[in-house]
Amino acid sequence: MCTLQGEGFWGFVEGSDDPLSPFPKVPVPTVTANSTTPTLKAYREWWQKDVKVKDIIKCCIFPSSPPASPATCYFPDGVTLLHLRCWQGSLS
């Protein structure tokens, strides 16, 4: 928890719905085929942060005890694996 908060990623896994919270939820940006360049850039940046969140969960928070569902974190399926799925699997 502290690692995710310290890195500014707590909103990716357990953020608050309150926009004034120090850790508001960070939803996946919505993109379409007609999205603008800044929107696509924000989308790619979100996925880069998502990968960091998964790495923190895998390596720092639960390094020696695999989650209840090992496929959740330890057999990554690329960018289709959301940080939240990894986090929820680790809490099972």
Calculate the alpha carbon distances from 63 to 38, 40, 68, 70 in Å. Answer: 36, 33, 13, 12
How many folded domains does the chain comprise?
1
Q: Which domain holds residue 68?
A: 2-27+42-91
Residue 83 lies in a domain: yes
| Residue 80 placed within a domain | yes
Nearest residue to 31 via CA among 44, 19, 50:
44
pLDDT digits (tens, 9 = 90+) for 32-46: 999 999 999 999 999
Classify residue 36: in a domain, yes or no: no
What pLDDT, in 10s, does the model give residues 5-29? 888 888 888 888 998 988 898 888 8
Tokens 């909103």 belong to: 11
Q: What is the pTM of this model?
A: 0.62
Residue 32 falls inside a structural domain: no
